[in-house]
Amino acid sequence: MQGVSLNSLGNFGQDDSLAPMTRKQPLENAQRTIALIVAAGRGRRFGGALPKQYAPLGGKMVLRRTVQAFLSHPHIDAVRVVIHADDADLYQSATVGLNLLDPVLGGATRQDSVRFGLESLKDMGCARVLIHDAARPFVDAAVIDGVLSALDDHLGALPALAVADTLKRAQNGEVSDTVSREALWRAQTPQGFSFSAILDAHHRFQGEELTDDAQLFERAGLKVAITPGHEDNFKITTEEDLMRAERLLYSAAEIRTGSGFDAHRFEAGDHVTLCGVKIPFSQGLKGHSDADVALHALTDALLGAIGQGDIGQHFPPSDAQWKGASSDRFLAHAANLVRAQGGTVVNVDVTLICEAPRVSPHRDAMRARIAEILGIAVERVSVKGTTTEGMGFTGRGEGIATQALATVRVTRLD
């Protein structure tokens, strides 16, 4: 199956119900620029149960972050991934909802995998191809722009960083020589090429052990332009690299805060549901759902933190399907929207305002239930109760009001 499309194995990345990227139209002049993401390696230096390209990074697989960088670039017309034959299910999980060309299977070496990928593009009107390591998830638009710009005047181009450290050659654990760093560069990807030139080079030097695609051009006597790289565009090779990537995501995150408020009046009943906990009481709360005033306010706080409207937009009270519904469904939905935007719930704070029932006997159960729904540690959840000293509708015992605050950390290296 090497070098063939995997469209027969499933509808990879084409689930239109999951908000796919805008589909890009093919160019009529057959001058397409296609990104080829190489993800067929086993990552033996990385260790762990998963190949590094499928390791979780800030709530997304590394491969998904890498692919999205190219899908979002205005001058990339299509993206194809080269994968290992054993990774079909992992690939599907990593790319669901994304508008990608069908993947192709790689070979025994990286050079084989790239060649198979290139051969799969022969009939797609590809004029320029960018070849990128799947394990470099932080490539940005400026790096891609630099490579594409250089291809206007060169057959090949690669981003690179000048070597800044002093270089030593060693033998038997001891320094044997100091190597001049003058004119030395650290090569990165994506490496860009004229499609016909790089495909020809791969065919000519098939079987040779070369470290990157630019070296094929060097063997052919062709020039490769150097364009600006970026320190963040590093390759995840070890567990330490993955930790560095997590730190980078954290440092690039923005903190957002949302607030919510809700109130429900009492009606005849024998219990109230607050923070997902059923509490025996002499009255009930009136509402279309279970009238959990606390979870409603908290749902609005999460939605507000990510700019996603309010609970009424997502669960209209006019819709019969929500009559009597458990409000944990509403809060879980808001939490899923946070995660879909690359966000993490940092903490939530709920204040119940009522004369009765008393909150303190149920506080620990309330905190535990909210933490369970949101999938966060209970120490990130605060629940408090207060009164209005007999004033207003809560003071008169006519109902319960709730204020809620939510803090969300959203990463923006997507």
- Of the three residues 192, 217, 251, the one that is the final residue of a domain is 251
Residue 150 shares a structural domain with residue 292: no
Beta bridge partners of 403: 261, 351
Residue 25 shares a structural domain with residue 152: yes
What distance in Å separates the CA atoms of residue 20 and residue 177, rounded to the nearest whole number?
A: 54
In a domain, 115, yes or no: yes
In a domain, 2, yes or no: no
Residue 269 shares a structural domain with residue 227: no
- Of the three residues 198, 218, 251, the one that is the final residue of a domain is 251
Residue 337 shares a structural domain with residue 371: yes
Q: How many domains are there within the chain?
A: 2
**CA dihedral of residues 115, 84, 46, 377 (deg, nearest 10):** 130
Q: What does the pLDDT read at residue 320?
A: 86
In a domain, 159, yes or no: yes
In a domain, 333, yes or no: yes
Q: What does the pLDDT read at residue 17?
A: 28
Residue 136 shares a structural domain with residue 260: no
In a domain, 1, yes or no: no
- Of the three residues 226, 251, 276, the one that is the final residue of a domain is 251
252 vs 330, which has greater pLDDT?
330
Q: Fill in the amino acid letter for 217.
A: F
Mean per-residue pLDDT, 182-188: 95
Asked if residue 124 has pLDDT above 80, the reply is yes
pTM of the model: 0.66
Residue 102 shares a structural domain with residue 202: yes
In a domain, 303, yes or no: yes
What distance in Å separates the CA atoms of residue 216 and residue 222, rounded to the nearest whole number?
A: 9
What distance in Å separates the CA atoms of residue 62 and residue 325, rounded to the nearest whole number?
A: 37
Mean per-residue pLDDT, 237-252: 88
Q: What does the pLDDT read at residue 253?
A: 78
Residue 43 shares a structural domain with residue 72: yes
Q: CATH number of the domain that 218 lies in?
A: 3.90.550.10
Q: What does the pLDDT read at residue 406?
A: 97
Residue 269 shares a structural domain with residue 228: no
pLDDT (tens digit per residue) in 27-73: 444 689 999 999 998 765 555 678 999 999 887 899 999 999 999 99
Asked if residue 125 has pLDDT above 80, the reply is yes
Q: What does the pLDDT read at residue 26?
A: 44
In a domain, 210, yes or no: yes
Mean pLDDT of the residues in the chain = 89
Mean per-residue pLDDT, 205-231: 94
Q: CATH number of the domain that 301 lies in?
A: 3.30.1330.50
Mean per-residue pLDDT, 281-285: 96
Residue 406 shares a structural domain with residue 272: yes
Give CA angle at 237 (69, 128), nearest 5°.
40
In a domain, 271, yes or no: yes
Residue 209 shares a structural domain with residue 286: no
Residue 373 shares a structural domain with residue 262: yes
326 vs 14, which has greater pLDDT?
326
Alpha carbons within 13 angstroms on the beta-carbon side of residue 292 total 29
Residue 224 shares a structural domain with residue 312: no
Q: Which domain holds residue 291?
A: 254-410
Query: CA dist 153 to 126, 147, 219, 236, Å?
Result: 17, 11, 20, 31
Assign 378 to helix, strand or coil.
helix
